[in-house]
Amino acid sequence: MCPRGASVFILAVVFVSMLSGTFSMPSFLSQRLCENCVQNEQTKSWDYLLFVNQWPETFCKYYNASHKHDNKDGQECIIPPIVSTWTIHGTWPTKTGTEGPTSCNNTWQFNLSQVKDLVPAMNKTWPGLLTGEEYWYFWSHEWDKHGTCAASLPVLYGEHNYFNKTLQLKQQHNIDKILSSSGIIPSSTVKYTRDKIEESVKNATGGMPDLICFQENSDSDFKQYLQEIRLCLDKSLKPFDCPKSKFMHLTSEYDSPCSSKTPIALPPLTTGNAAV
Ligand SMILES: *[C@@H]1O[C@H](CO)[C@@H](O)[C@H](O)[C@H]1NC(C)=O
Ligand SMILES: *[C@@H]1O[C@H](CO)[C@@H](O)[C@H](O)[C@H]1NC(C)=O
Ligand SMILES: *[C@@H]1O[C@H](CO)[C@@H](O)[C@H](O)[C@H]1NC(C)=O
Ligand SMILES: *[C@@H]1O[C@H](CO)[C@@H](O)[C@H](O)[C@H]1NC(C)=O
Ligand SMILES: *[C@@H]1O[C@H](CO)[C@@H](O)[C@H](O)[C@H]1NC(C)=O
Ligand SMILES: *[C@@H]1O[C@H](CO)[C@@H](O)[C@H](O)[C@H]1NC(C)=O
């Protein structure tokens, strides 16, 4: 079931569109608003994967900025001391021009014991960054939302394959090494152009990535920080140039594509309990 508010919103959009004579329901809209609705076979289909790497420092910057005024649950964004570099966000089945599909199989619950052998590696390279959650919560979220949709590709079918293969992708595409070999290293002073970061990743992987930034707007000052490097992989897991997606430009501040107009910061990691 779609939430009632969403239905009302859709009706309003349809009504206004009809008045202006331009009615057509964009599929990404219905899909997005009904993220948790039961999806039929067709809406579960996808044609490529986003392999999403995140820079933990920028994620925490983003989290801290967006929860400044409403941190009701008292969660904090803390980078575990074991983390020293880029971490995994997830592997996301994607249909060109849209986001998702997501949450494809609600009966398939995350089961930690199925990935027991991978936990040491996942603790280090795929950590959740928020306090007050079980350490495996982030993994169960990625499984529910994305892993259950990846099952249609045999090499990603089931929990162990999904997580093991994603860990393997991380080793295969070592973002830290790729960037540093192009001279792109974390710094609190030096910034880098979008073109240079893209070219560095394209050179090393063969595919042009999507770059996601946390963008900070104060009156006279626009700053952006590199938050995610998303590689686009075909169904043989080979990188290719990410499609230029209309959708990318419609998303929230979290999903902002990096701008080419302002240099991009890659701030050094502050791990552990430095603030305590
Ligand atoms: C985010 O806030 C936590 C405290 O809640 C602090 O320890 C951490 O250093 C902050 N991180 C960033 C990147 O601002
Ligand atoms: C849905 O989940 C069940 C486990 O609960 C699994 O056996 C089944 O193969 C999954 N279906 C699809 C289409 O992936
Ligand atoms: C979780 O996986 C373990 C090991 O494969 C299995 O023994 C157990 O029955 C599973 N638990 C559930 C709730 O499916
Ligand atoms: C993984 O990390 C959690 C939380 O820090 C810890 O409780 C657990 O023992 C770790 N497991 C392994 C196998 O390293
Ligand atoms: C997990 O991935 C590794 C490569 O990183 C591979 O050698 C191994 O066979 C995989 N394990 C399973 C059970 O698929
Ligand atoms: C990408 O490769 C070209 C050709 O080898 C090289 O000239 C360029 O410096 C590389 N760019 C980066 C950012 O590493």
Give the Å distances, CA to CA, from 150 to 44, 46, 64, 80: 9, 9, 31, 28
What is the arithmetic mean of pLDDT over 88-116?
Answer: 95
pLDDT for the residue numbered 37: 43
What average pLDDT does this structure show over 264-271? 95
The tens digit of pLDDT for each residue in 184-243 reads 999 999 999 999 999 999 999 999 999 999 998 877 789 999 999 999 999 999 999 999
The structural domains of the chain, with segments of one domain joined by +, span 4-41, 47-265
Query: What pLDDT is attached to residue 276?
Result: 37
d(CA 29, CA 181): 40
Q: What is the pLDDT of residue 155?
A: 98
pLDDT, mean of residues 136-145: 98
* Alpha-carbon separation of residue 25 from 14, 15, 58 (angstroms): 7, 11, 35
Which CATH number does 47-265 carry?
3.90.730.10
Confidence (pLDDT) at 34? 43
**pLDDT computed for residue 26 by the predictor:** 43
User: Model-level pTM?
Assistant: 0.86
**Residue owning the nearest CA to atom 5 of ligand 4:** 135
pLDDT digits (tens, 9 = 90+) for 62-80: 999 988 766 667 899 999 9
Has 142 been annotated as catalytic?
yes
> Does ligand 5 have an atom closer than 6 angstroms to the CB of 148?
no
Q: What is the DSSP letter of 144?
A: I
Please indicate whether residue 111, judged by its CB atom, sits closer than 6 Å to ligand 3: yes
Calpha distance 55→83 (Å, rounded): 11
Q: Is 110 near ligand 2, meaning CB less than 6 Å away?
A: no
pLDDT value at position 266? 98
Q: Which of 41, 57, 141, 146 is catalytic?
A: 146
Active site residue 89: yes
The pLDDT mean for the chain works out to: 85
How much of the chain exceeds pLDDT 90, in percent? 70
Which one of 182, 184, 203, 211 would you pick to mutate in the ligand 6 pocket, going by the greatest count of ligand atoms within 8 A of its CB?
A: 203
Contacts of 244 (CB under 8 A, 6+ apart): none
Is 160 catalytic? The answer is no
Quick one: 51 exposed, middle or buried, by C-beta within 10 A (0-12, 13-18, 19+)?
buried
Which residue's CA is the nearest one to ligand 6's atom 9?
182
For residue 164, the ligand 5 atom closest to its alpha carbon is 1
Q: What pLDDT shows up at residue 248? A: 53
Nearest C-alpha neighbor of 34 from the set 102, 91, 84: 102
Q: Is the CB of 105 under 6 A from ligand 2?
A: yes
Is the minimum distance from the CB of 158 to ligand 3 under 6 angstroms?
A: no
Counting ligands in written order, which one lies closest to the CA of residue 272? 1
- 234: tokens are 């075909």
Q: Which of 89, 159, 173, 228 is catalytic?
A: 89
pLDDT band at 33 (very low <50, low <70, confident <90, very high): very low
Question: Whose atoms come closest to the Cα of 60: which ligand?
Answer: 1
Higher pLDDT, 28 or 212: 212
